[in-house]
Amino acid sequence: MRMLALFKKEYIQFFRNSAMVGLLIFAFFINVWMSGSGGSELKNYAVAVYNIDGTEVSQKLVDKIGPPYFKLDRMLYSDKEVDKVLTEGEISVVLIIPKDFSKNLADGRTAKLQLVMDGTRSNYTTTAMSYLETIIQMYSQEINPPEAGGPKVPSVEIQTMYWYNPNLEGSYRSGISELLIMITLLSVMLPASTMVQEKEIGTIEQLSVTPVSSYEIMLAKIIPMTTLILVCTVLSLYIVIIGILNTPIVGNIPFFLLVTVIHVFSSAGIGLTISTIARSMAETIMFSLIVVTPLLFLSGNITPIIAMNPVVQYLTYIFPLRWYIEISLAIIFKGAGPNDLIKQIIILLVLGLILFFYSASKFRDSLEKAK
C-alpha cells in the first residue's frame, strides 16, 4: 500500500508538470516523426545544369535528370552563375556539359562531363554523385550499345541483395534510432528531474522522514517513469513508426519492450545518480546531456563501431546503450529472437544490474545525508 501511494504521488506530480508532459509528447511523437521523415535517401534533390554543348544529344541527358531522385531546379548559362549558386548555397550539385560533348561522342572519343559539388554537404552530395553517375552510365549504354555480332567479351555479373531493407529506405533506420535515443535520454532525465524537483520544493526532507526505505523511494521514482516511457514507446511505434512512416516491424514487439525495460532501469539509475549531484533543473539537464552525449557517440548509432579506433571499439563494450541499440535493431528489422541475442542480452543485463545497484547505493547515501 505504501508503494501504491508513492506511485500515485509520482504520477500526479508528473502530470501537473506541463513542461515534462510536453517534453514526453515532443520526444516520442514529433521528434521521432521529424527524424524518420528526413531520411538520407535522395528524393527530388535539386540539381542545376550548365549545358554548354546545347545540342539535342546533350539535352537527352539533361532530360534524364528528374524524379524521383532529382529535380532539375534550373539551367545555368555562365561560369559566374555556377559560382553564384554554389557560393550562396542555393544549389549543392551542378552538372556541366562541355562544348564538344556531342561531337566527341559522334567521333567515338571519350566525352567528358563535370560534376561540381558543395563539399560542405558531403553526406548528401556524395549520394547525389553516385546516383548521377548511374544515370550517366545508363545514358552512355543507350547511345552506344554493344555492336551486334561483335566478339563476345567475358564478363562478371554481380547480383546485389539487400536484406532486411530491400529498398534502402533511410527513414526506417532513422525513425527507430531516434526512438531508441529518446528512450535513453528520457530514462535518464525523468527520474533525475522528479528527484531534483523534490529538492527545489522542499519535500525531500519530508520523504526522508517517512516510514519508507531508500530503495522504496528509489523504485517509486523509477517504476512510474518506466511505465510512462513504455506506454509512449508503444504509442510511438504504432502511431509514428508503423502508422505514419510505414516502417515494417518484423520482430516481436513484446520481446523488444522487455529488453527496453532492462535498459530503462539501468538508465534510470544513472538519472538518480545525477539527482544526487544536481541542485536545480538546469543542472539536471546539463549533467544528463554530459552523460548521454558520449553514450550516443559510442553506441554505434552515429558512427559504426567497426569504423572506430580499435581502442574505442573495446571501450564501447562497457556502455549499455551499445548493446541496447544492437539488440533492438536486430529484433525490429531482422526478427531476431532470444536465442539469437542471448549473449547481447546477458551483457546488457549484467551492465544494467551493475549500474542500478551502484546508483542505488549513491542514492541511499544522499537520502541518509538529507536526514
Domain ranges of the chain: 2-38+174-370, 45-141
Instruction: Please give the pLDDT value at position 121.
Output: 67
How do residues 224-273 score in pLDDT, each as one tens digit? 999 999 999 999 999 999 999 888 898 999 999 999 999 998 888 888 88
**pLDDT band for position 155 (cuts 50, 70, 90):** very low
Instruction: Please give the pLDDT value at position 152.
Output: 47
* pLDDT above 60 for 280: yes
How do residues 313-344 score in pLDDT, each as one tens digit? 888 898 889 999 999 999 998 888 999 899 99
How do residues 163-184 score in pLDDT, each as one tens digit? 677 766 777 888 898 999 999 9
**pLDDT band for position 156 (cuts 50, 70, 90):** very low
Please give the average per-residue pLDDT across 63-69, as a whole number: 85
* pLDDT above 80 for 187: yes
- Length of the chain equals 371
CATH fold of the domain at 45-141: abc type-2 transporter like fold (3.40.1710)
* Residue 50 phi, psi dihedral angles, 5° rounding: -110, 95
User: Can you give the pTM of this predicted structure?
Assistant: 0.76
Instruction: Please give the pLDDT value at position 260.
Output: 95
Please give the average per-residue pLDDT across 83-89, as a whole number: 82
Q: Are 132 and 124 in contact (CB under 8 A)?
A: no
Query: What percent of the chain has pLDDT above 90?
Result: 24
The Cα 224–Cα 248 span in angstroms is: 30
* Residue 93 phi, psi dihedral angles, 5° rounding: -135, 125
Please give the average per-residue pLDDT across 276-298, as a whole number: 86
**pLDDT band for position 28 (cuts 50, 70, 90):** very high
Task: Tell me the DSSP string of 90-157.
Answer: S-SEEEEE-TTHHHHHHTTPPPP-EEEE-GGGHHHHHHHHHHHHHHHHHHHHHHSPPPTTSPPPP---
Query: What percent of the chain has pLDDT above 70?
Result: 88
User: What's the chain's average pLDDT?
Assistant: 83
Pairing of strands 93-97, 114-117: antiparallel
Instruction: Please give the pLDDT value at position 123.
Output: 64
* pLDDT above 90 for 216: no
Give 211 or 243, the one with higher predicted confidence. 243
The Cα 55–Cα 44 span in angstroms is: 25
Give 10 or 154, the one with higher predicted confidence. 10
- Within 10 angstroms of residue 155's Cβ, the number of other Cβ atoms is 5
